[in-house]
């Protein structure tokens, strides 16, 4: 396994592999790897001849009051995990390689501003879309892997790949959770014991909603109210939003038809967690 810091070196690896007819699977990450990341890496390993994992804490996707500086970083541990999973290359670019002093170009997927997390994290998805576009251009993978945990991110990436004609297949993999339901996230290390216990309520609330939909409740406001009541029982929880939206457009559903995404963001102390689940309404109810 090689750690590549320079864009030029990353490109020449990819070019050489493509010339030999080898496929490249790519997993973009911000490091502080956990089993969620590893599930993407394992899938990439299964599907491709070569696997590239990028580790880059992308400054432009963090808001001024967000956790860019304290975001967990542990290259040594990440390197060990990647080696064990048979990763071929860790692409670990310097910030100044990715964003020169006179950097001016951004990728922005229109129509997202008011939807789900975008409403509360202005500029975040522009930062994500920009860095993912750059990484796809640098690594030129055949398949890139993303997690359903960041559902809105996955939708935005699929859209930009389609709209900008980037020749890559996007695979979205299921959310990996702790046994007690908490979705794995690099930010979970911020939680203290009480917050971690309380945070289990997120998956319970999502399952409560899924169960209500299964029992023919088609009223999003009613379901959201019941989720709120459950989450608000936890002392450290402060809800930012809970939404039930159309799976493709991410627009709020007035009545639940077919498949919906139930998504939420909740603060536990100073840590903001997101989670989501897909629920399907039975046709005949
Ligand atoms: P991050 O390092 O947080 O930017 O995440 C890198 C990739 O891992 C993204 O595609 C995430 O959606 C994915 N990911 C993060 N957490 C999980 C999880 N619990 N299960 C599955 N994928 C995840």
Q: 123 near 63, Cβ under 8 Å? A: yes
User: Does ligand 1 have an atom closer than 6 angstroms to the CB of 172?
Assistant: no
pLDDT band at 284 (very low <50, low <70, confident <90, very high): low
pLDDT band at 253 (very low <50, low <70, confident <90, very high): confident
**Average pLDDT in the 39-44 region?**
98
Distance of CA 171 from the midpoint of ligand 1 (Å): 12
pLDDT of 205 > 70? The answer is: yes
Catalytic status, residue 18: no
Distance of CA 149 from the midpoint of ligand 1 (Å): 6
Q: 120-144, pLDDT tens digit by residue?
A: 999 999 999 999 999 999 999 999 9
pLDDT band at 282 (very low <50, low <70, confident <90, very high): confident
pLDDT band at 221 (very low <50, low <70, confident <90, very high): very high
Q: In the numeric block, which tokens belong to residue 30?
A: 């911000």
| Active-site option among 18, 34, 37, 124 | 37
- pTM of the prediction? 0.98
User: Does ligand 1 have an atom closer than 6 angstroms to the CB of 152?
Assistant: no
């Amino acid at each position: 396994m090689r750690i590549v810091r320079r864009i030029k070196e990353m490109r020449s690896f990819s070019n050489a592999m493509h010339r030999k007819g080898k496929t490249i699977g790519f997993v973009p990450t911000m490091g502080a790897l956990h089993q969620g990341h590893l599930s993407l890496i394992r899938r990439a390993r299964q599907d491709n001849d070569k696997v590239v994992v990028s580790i880059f804490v992308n400054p432009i996707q963090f808001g001024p009051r967000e956790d860019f500086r304290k975001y967990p970083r542990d290259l040594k541990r990440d390197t060990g995990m990647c080696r064990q999973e048979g990763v071929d290359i860790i692409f670990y670019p310097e910030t100044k390689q990715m964003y020169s002093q006179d950097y001016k170009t951004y990728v922005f997927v229109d129509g997202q501003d008011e939807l789900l997390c975008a409403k509360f994290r202005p500029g975040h998805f522009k930062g994500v879309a920009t860095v993912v576009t750059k990484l796809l251009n640098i690594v030129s993978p055949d398949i890139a892997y993303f997690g359903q945990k960041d559902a809105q991110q996955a939708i935005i990436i699929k859209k930009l790949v389609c709209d900008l004609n980037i020749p890559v297949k996007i695979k979205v993999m299921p959310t990996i959770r702790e046994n007690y339901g908490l979705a794995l996230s690099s930010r979970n290390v911020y939680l203290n014991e009480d917050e971690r216990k309380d945070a289990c309520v997120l998956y319970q609330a999502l399952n409560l909603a899924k169960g209500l939909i299964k029992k023919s409740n088609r009223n999003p406001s009613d379901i959201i109210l019941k989720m709120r009541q459950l989450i608000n029982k936890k002392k450290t929880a402060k809800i930012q939003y809970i939404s039930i939206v159309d799976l493709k457009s991410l627009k709020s559903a007035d009545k639940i038809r077919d498949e919906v995404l139930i998504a939420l963001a909740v603060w536990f102390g100073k840590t903001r967690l997101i989670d989501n689940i897909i629920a399907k309404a039975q046709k005949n109810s």
